[in-house]
Amino acid sequence: MEPLDERAIRASFVNCSKGEASRIKLPAGFADGSVPWSDLDFLGWTDPGAPQRALLVVPGADGPTGMVLRRPSERKVSALRSSMCRICLTDHAASGVALFVAPLAGPAGRNGNTVGEYICADLACSLYLRGKRQPKMRLVRREETLSLAERVDRALTNLAAFTGRVVAG
């Protein structure tokens, strides 16, 4: 994705107040320029100041769409069960995937309505797709016959569906 500056990131959030968007802490590596933009299809990070809060910024033809997600507190999960990210379809041990919950945009979200999705717990789908990060204790290895470009397309389609549900409110 194209690099984004802080102003573009803060202005992109669709499901929180301007005040909340101004208090979000940017990803580690943002200030010193070490975000690997060229390896990213979207920007995802956990707020360094609020570990239950995660952020996704998804590029689009009309500019980026940012979403605030909540990471529910750790539940007891069996390390033996494998789970799949619904965005990039990477198989993980269960702890490698988390259910992220996003308030809907607009009044629906202010009234407490949310949508959830199972996503790589570190939001690093782009790096898993490129083989730059490996799932821990992966039990299931599916053979993928798709090219990287096709897998990236599939992940972006899945992510667009999730983003669309949030934006629709």
Q: How far is the CB of 112 from Zn ion (least distance, A)?
A: 27
Judged by beta carbon, residue 24 or residue 85, the one nearer Zn ion is 85
Q: How far is the CB of 22 from Zn ion (least distance, A)?
A: 28
Q: How far apart are the first and last CA of the chain?
A: 26
Q: Phi then psi for 155, rounded to 5 degrees?
A: -65, -40
What is the per-residue burial (b if ≥16 Cβ within 10 Å, else e) of 104-135? bbeebbeeeeebbbebbbbbbbbbbbbeebeb
- CA 49, distance to chain mean position in Å, is 17
Helix, strand, coil shares, percent, the chain, to 5? 30, 20, 50
Residues in touch with Zn ion (CB under 5 A):
85, 87-88, 90, 120, 125
Judged by beta carbon, residue 44 or residue 109, the one nearer Zn ion is 44
Judged by beta carbon, residue 65 or residue 90, the one nearer Zn ion is 90
Judged by beta carbon, residue 21 or residue 88, the one nearer Zn ion is 88
With contact defined as beta carbons under 8 Å apart, do 7 and 26 qualify?
no
